[in-house]
Amino acid sequence: MNPLHVVILAAGQGSRMKSSLPKVLHRIAGKPMLHHVIDTARKLGAERIHGVIGHGADQVRAITQADDLQWAMQEEQLGTGHAVAQALPNLPDEARVLILYGDVPLTRRETLEDLVSKVSDASIGLLTVTLDDPNGYGRILRNEQDKVTAIVEQKDASEAQKAINEVNTGILAVSARHLKSWLPQLSNANAQGEYYLTDVIAMAANEGVSVDVAQPANEFEVQGVNNRVQLAELERWYQGQQAIRLMTEGATLADPARIDVRGDLSIGQDVLIDINVVFEGTVTVDSEVSIGPNCVLKDCHIGAGTRIEANSVIEGATVGKKAQVGPFARLRPGTQLSDSTKVGNFVETKKALVGEGSKINHLSYVGDAVLGKKVNVGAGTITCNYDGVNKHQTRIGDGVFVGSNTSLVAPVSLEANVTIGAGSTITRDVSEDELAVARGRQRNIANWARPTRKE
Ligand code: UD1
Ligand code: CA
C-alpha cells in the first residue's frame, strides 16, 4: 500500500473567533482542534502529517511538536489550492494524500478510512454531505450518469446550482502524482480571486479520473468552526457522543447532558455518575463505582465498588476497592488510597500512601506521608511537611490512633499501635504501643473573677 500523507490546512485567521489565539488552537473537550485532527491522522496510520500554517504560526508550532509533523508556511492566504500547494514539495510522488482542516476537528476515523480507500491512480475520494441548508458551501455538480463532474463555490454558482443540496466538505483524498499535475494548473479567475482546491475535481473528471464520493454518518463530523457558537455546538455534540458511549458500556448517567469527558475515560459496568462530573486526562473507573455530583476526576484510577461523594476533586491519584472519598475531599497527585479506606470531608492529601482500612474522616492535611493499615486520623490533623525550604516525610504505623487537632511535625515517625493525645504537636518519634501527649497541661482556677467594664 502506498504511504498515506495527511495535509492539514490551518493557515486561516479565524477572525470571527474574536481571539488572540489562532482558531485551530481553540479547544474541544480540552484539546486544541488541530490536535484532534492530528490524532485522527495518526489513527489512520499517516506516515507523515503536513501542517499548513500562516496566521499565528509561531503559537501553533509552539504547542504542536512531533517527529511525524512537518510544517509548511503559507505567508499569504490565497486560497485552499494555494495552501495545499505549499506542502506539495514535501509529498513523495507515490503517496496517497488526505486533505483535512484544522478547524474541522471531529471527523470519525471510519469515515476517513472509507474515503482514503477510494484513492488510486484512476480515482480520487471526495467527502460530501447533503444539507437542508447548503448556503455558503461549494455545491457538487453531477452528470446524467450521476458521476461528479465539478464543484462550484457559492459565490460562483448560478441560481440553479445554488439549489443543489449536496455540498463539499472540503475533505479530499487524492494521489500525490495527481496533485502535482493539477495544482500548478489552478487559476484564480473566479469570484473570490482565490486558487480553489475544489477546481481539481473538474480536472479529474476531464481526464477520466473517477471522483468517488464518501459521506459521513453525521453532519457534525464535517462541521467546521468559524465562531464560538459553532465551537460550543461541536463541544456539545462531542460530549453527547461520549455520554452515549458510556451508557452503552454500562454506566448510568443521572443526566447525559451534564457530564464532560476531556480525555480518555474507561469505565467498568454499573458505574453511577451523578450530574456535573468532569473527567480530564486518563481516567479509569472500575465496576460499581458511584460518583456524586460536581466531582472532578483527572488522571486517576478508581477501584471497584468505591464511592466518590459530592464535590470531590481527585488528581493524579489511585483509589483502591470499596473506598469512600468525600464529600468535599481533595486528593492531589501521588495519593494512593488502599482498599476500604475512607477520606472524608475537607481532607486534602498529597503524596500520601494510605494503607488498607485506614480513615482520615474530617478536616485534615496529609502530605508526604505513609500510613499503615487501620490507622485512624482524627479531625484537624495536619502533617507539617514543609519547613519553608524542604519537604519531609511522616510515617504512621499500623493501628495508630491520632487524636484530633494534632500537628505531626515532619520528619517524624509513629510506630505501630501508637496513640496520640488530642491537641498534640508531635516533634519526636514515638515507639510501638506508646501514648504521646504534647500539649499544655490544663489548670482550673476556682472562682475566677471576670474583668468588668470601665466607666
Ligand atoms: C471551502 C471549500 C468549499 C467547502 C467549504 C467547506 C474551497 C475553494 N472551497 O470553502 O467548497 O464547501 O470549504 O467548509 O476550497 N485555508 C488556508 N489557506 C487559505 C485558505 C484557506 O489555510 O489560503 C484554510 C482555512 O483556514 C480553513 C480552510 O482552509 O480552515 C477552508 O477555508 P475557507 O476559506 O473557510 O473555505 P470556504 O470558503 O469555507
Ligand atoms: Ca469555511
Burial 142-163 (b: 16+ CB within 10 A, else e): eeeeeebebbbbbeebeeebee
CA of 342 to the centre of ligand 1 (A): 55
Task: Enumerate domains of the chain plus CATH numbers.
Answer: 4-222 (3.90.550.10), 228-436 (2.160.10.10)
Length of the chain: 455
Instruction: Indicate if ligand 1 lies below 6 Å from the C-beta of 195.
Output: no
pLDDT of residue 225 exceeding 90, the answer is: yes
User: What is the band of 53 on the pLDDT scale with cuts at 50, 70, 90?
Assistant: very high
Mean pLDDT of 113-132: 98
**Could you say which ligand is closest to the alpha carbon of residue 223?**
1
Catalytic annotation present for 362: yes
1 pLDDT above the threshold of 90: no
pLDDT at 104: 98
Ligand 1 pocket check for 167: Cβ under 6 Å? yes
pLDDT of residue 420: 98
- Cα-to-centroid distance, 82 and ligand 1 (Å): 11
Residue identifier of the C-alpha nearest atom 27 of ligand 1: 12
Q: Is 105 in the pocket of ligand 1 (CB under 6 A)?
A: no
pLDDT at residue 13 is higher than 90: no
Catalytic pick among 55, 301, 362, 392: 362
Residue 253 has pLDDT above 90, yes or no: yes
- Please state, as a whole number, how many other Cβ atoms lie within 10 Å of the Cβ of residue 445: 6
Instruction: Give the span between the Cα atoms of 397 and 337, in whole angstroms.
Output: 15
Q: What is the pLDDT of residue 329?
A: 98
The model's pLDDT over 61-75, given as tens digits with 9 standing for 90+, comes to: 999 988 999 999 999
CB 418 within 8 A of CB 433: yes
Q: How far does CA 440 lie from the centroid of its chain?
A: 52
- How many beta carbons lie within 10 A of that of residue 209, not counting itself? 20
Give CA separation, 215 vs 60, 235, 412, in Å.
30, 21, 66
Q: Which secondary structure element, helix H or strand E, spans residue 139, and what is its range?
A: strand 139-142
- Average pLDDT estimate for 251-269: 98
Q: For cell 494548473, what's the residue? A: 185
Residues 6+ apart with CB under 8 A from 291: 271, 272, 273, 274, 277, 285, 297, 302, 308
Contact status, residue 312 vs residue 327, Cβ threshold 8 Å: yes
Task: Tell me the pLDDT tens digit for each residue of 261-308.
Answer: 999 999 999 999 999 999 999 999 999 999 999 999 999 999 999 999
The candidate with the shortest Cα–Cα distance to 240, out of 217, 220, 268, is 220
Q: In sequence order, what E strands does 143-276 have?
A: 148-152, 166-175, 210-214, 251-253, 259-267, 271-273
Give percent of the chain with pLDDT exceeding 70: 100
Cell, residue 25: 488552537
pLDDT at res. 92: 98
Give me the residue label for grid cell 494555494. 82
By most ligand atoms within 8 Å of CB, the mutation choice from 76, 78, 80 for ligand 1 is: 80
Query: Which grid coordinates belong to 209?
Result: 479520473
Would you say the CB of residue 101 lies under 6 angstroms from ligand 1?
A: yes
- What is the residue-averaged pLDDT of the chain? 97
Whether 406 and 391 have beta carbons less than 8 Å apart is answered as no
CB 321 within 8 A of CB 338: no
- Mind listing the pLDDT tens digit for each residue in 334-391? 999 999 999 999 999 999 999 999 999 999 999 999 999 999 999 999 999 999 999 9
Nearest ligand to residue 80 Cα: 1
197 alpha carbon – ligand 1 mean position (Å): 9
Beta bridge partners of 290: 272, 307
Is the minimum distance from the CB of 168 to ligand 1 under 6 angstroms? yes
Whether 455 has a pLDDT exceeding 90, the answer reads no
The confidence score (pLDDT) of residue 105 equals: 98
9 within ligand 1 shell (Cβ under 6 A): yes
d(CA 331, CA 301): 12
Question: What pLDDT, on the 0 to 100 scale, is given for residue 134?
Answer: 97
> pLDDT tens, 387-424?
999 999 999 999 999 999 999 999 999 999 999 999 99
Interval 125-183: pLDDT, tens: 999 999 999 999 999 999 999 999 999 999 999 999 999 999 999 999 999 999 999 99
- Nine-digit cell string for 247: 451508557
Q: Ligand 1 in contact with 407 (CB < 6 A)?
A: no
Nearest CA to ligand 1 atom 31: 80
Q: How far is the CA of 136 from the centre of ligand 2 (A)?
A: 8
What are the b/e assignments for 301-325, b being 16+ CB within 10 Å?
bbbbbbbbbbbbbbbebbbbbbbbb
Q: Tell me 441's DSSP state.
A: P
Q: What is the pLDDT of residue 20?
A: 95
Beta strands in 215-362 (DSSP E): 251-253, 259-267, 271-273, 277-285, 290-291, 296-302, 307-308, 313-315, 318-319, 324-325, 329-331, 336-337, 342-345, 347-354, 359-362
Answer whether the bond into residue 327 is a cis peptide, omega within 30°: yes
Alpha carbon distance 112, 4 (integer Å): 12
> What pLDDT was estimated at residue 40?
98
What pLDDT band is residue 114 in, cutting at 50, 70 and 90?
A: very high
> Which ligand lies nearest the alpha carbon of 138?
1
Cβ of 11 below 6 Å from ligand 1? yes
Q: Is the Cα dihedral 38, 39, 45, 47 positive or negative?
A: positive
Q: What is the pLDDT of residue 38?
A: 98
CA of 138 to the centre of ligand 1 (A): 10
Query: Residue 203 is placed in which grid cell?
Result: 480536472
Centre of ligand 2 from the C-alpha of residue 14, in Å: 9
